[in-house]
Chain A
Amino acid sequence: MSQQYNPVIGLEVHVETNTKTKMFCACSDDYFGKEPNTHTCPVCLGLPGALPFTNEEAIEKCMKIGLALNCKVAESSLFERKNYFYPDLAKGYQISQYRWPLCVGGSIEVTGKNGKKSTIRINRAHQEEDTGKLTHVEGRTLIDFNRSGVPLVEIVTEPDFTDTEQIRDYAKQLREIFRNLGVSNADMEKGDMRLEANISVRPVGQKELPNYRVELKNINSFRFMVAAVEFEIKRQIEALESGETLHQETRGWNEAKHETYLQRSKEEANDYRYFPEPDLPSLAVDRDLVKKLQEEARAALPQTKVDNLVKTYGISQESAVTMIRQGSDPFFEELVAKLGQTGISSQIVASMIINKKIDWQDLSTDDVVKQLKAQASQTALSSDQLEKAIDEVIADNEKTAADYKAGKENALQALIGAVMKKTSGRADAKQAAEIIKEKLK
C-alpha cells in the first residue's frame, strides 16, 4: 500500500471594485469594451513626475470587504512599491500593500452542497492597482493601459482548502458577498474577479506545511482553474511517489493539452524589493468610519439577508438563499408588498420567481401584479372543483384523515397541503380548511 497524500491549497482572489475612477487618478475606470488607451492620464501611464492621489471610495470598499470577511482594519496602513519589469505597468512597479495591509486576520465559513461547513482563514485583504492589458501578436506585445490603475483588492487565505469543491464554494460565496456589498459585480468572465491558487501536497498525518508550493497563475477561467488544481494535485503526488523533489514555481494551464506547465521559477520572479511608496502619505483609519462600514457590511452579508427574508416573509430558508443568489430578492420584496392581501402567499410568490414562472428580470412588479390578479380570477376554482379535490385528497390520505378525526390538529395542515398541491396552489387555504373540517366532523 503506497503512502497517501493530502493537498494543501491556499487561494488569492483579486477583485476589481466598482468605483467611478481609478485608484490613484481621476480617470474613469469604466474601461470594459472601450477603445484602447482612451482612459489614461500621466499617472496611470506612468509618465515621469506624475503623482498618485488616493481614491477614498476605493479605500472604503476595501475595508468593507475586509470587514465582511471578519478581518480587523488596521489602525494605520501604508502603500508600498512592488518592483518588477513587465510592460503591463509602465512605472516599473505596482502600488500595492505588503507590510501594512488595510485588513488582516479574518475568516469565512464556507457551506458545501451537502451542507458541510468549514472555516477558511483569511490572512489579509489589501488594496492595490490593476495592470494594463497585454495582447501578444506575432512575436510582439500590444499594450492597452485602460485597465492600468483600476482599484483591485487582493484577498489571501491561509492554506485551508483540501479540495476543489471547497474552492468552488468559497469563490461562489465571495462573489455573493461582493455583489451584496455592492462593491463589485465580480463577473469572472469580464475579469472583475480572478483566482490564483498555491498548491502542495503532504503525507496524511503530517502537520507541518510542505517546504515548497506551486503557484497557479494567469488562468482566466474558473473552470480551467479547477482543472489545473486537480491536475496539479495528481502531478505532485506522482512526482513524490517516484522520488522527485518538488520546487517553488509558477505554473500556467494549457487547455489544449489539459496540463499545467512551468512559467518561471519563483526565486527570480518574487524578488519584488517592496518599499514604502514615498509619493503617498499613510492612512490613519477613522474608527467611527470602521464602525459604520462594519454595520453596512453585516447588513449586506448573504446570511443576514437570508435570516431577514425568512423572518419577515415566512418563506423557506432554501427559497431565500436561492433568491439572494439570483439577485431576485429585491424584486420579491417589492412584489409581495404590492400584492398585499390578494391571498397569494409569499412562499408561492418566491417559488414562482425561483421557477421562472414570474419573469422578474424583464418585467416590472406592476406588470406582474396585474398578471397574477388576472390569472387568479381566471383560474379560481369553483366550489365544486374545490370540493372534488378535497374528496380526492381525503380518499388518498385515509390515514391522515383518520388522524385528524382522532384529534391530531397537525393532520389538518397536511391535508390542506395536499389540496394545495392537487390544485397547483389555486385553492384558498382557509376555505379548504373549513370544508375539510366539515367533511371530517
Chain B
Amino acid sequence: MAKSTKIDIDHVSKLANLPLPDEQKRIFASQLTKILDYIEKIEKADTKNVEPTFNVTPNKNVTRKDTAGTCLTQDEALQNSKNTKNGQFVTKGVFKSE
C-alpha cells in the first residue's frame, strides 16, 4: 500500500535542512508515507457541517501595549553560541552552500 512515490524524500530533507544517509532516507520515506496515508483517511471524513479550525485556542485578540521592556545584554544573548565575533553570532558562510 505504502508507495514511496508519494514522498520526494530528497526534497523533504533539503527543506528540513537535514542531510540524510540513504538508509535513513529509506526509513523516513516509508514512515512519512504512512503519515500521508493516514491523512488521506482523515480527508475522507465528512466535514460538510464542521467549522474549520485553524487554531486550537478559543482566545482572540491577545495583544500587548507598545511599551518597551528590558532586553538581554550582548553577553547574555551570545552566551550559548560556540562561535562569536565582534558581538555577533558566527555561522557557516551562507553563500558557499548555495
Q: Please report A residues at the B interface, Cβ cutoff 8 Å.
A: 19-21, 25-28, 35-42, 45, 53-59, 78, 83, 85-87, 100, 134-136, 139-145, 264, 268, 271, 273, 276-278, 280-284
Cα distance A21–B68 when bound, in Å?
6
Contact indicator per residue, chain B 57-92, by CB within 8 Å of chain A (1) or not (0): 101111111111101111001100000011111111
Closest 10 CB pairs of A and B: A26-B69, A57-B66, A56-B63, A142-B88, A281-B59, A85-B17, A143-B89, A276-B54, A139-B93, A36-B87
Residues of A within 8 A of B41 (CB): none
A55, B15: Cβ atoms under 8 Å? no
- For B14, the closest partner residue in chain A by CB is A268
Question: Is B38 interfacial (CB-CB < 8 Å)?
Answer: no
Question: Is B44 interfacial (CB-CB < 8 Å)?
Answer: no
- For A79, the closest partner residue in chain B by CB is B55
Q: Please report B residues at the A interface, Cβ cutoff 8 Å.
A: 11, 14-17, 54-57, 59-69, 71-74, 77-78, 85-96, 98
A264, B85: Cβ atoms under 8 Å? no
Residues of A within 8 A of B64 (CB): 26, 53-56
Known: A37-B77, A282-B54. A141 touches B63 (CB 8 A): no
Among candidates A36, A38, A55, A56, residue contacting B73 with C-beta atoms closer than 8 Å:
A38
Best-buried of B15, B57, B59, B68 by chain A (most CB within 10 Å) = B68
Residues of B within 8 A of A140 (CB): 90-93
Residues of A within 8 A of B56 (CB): 278
Residues of A within 8 A of B16 (CB): 85
A136, B88: Cβ atoms under 8 Å? no
- For A272, the closest partner residue in chain B by CB is B15
Best-buried of A38, A57, A78 by chain B (most CB within 10 Å) = A38
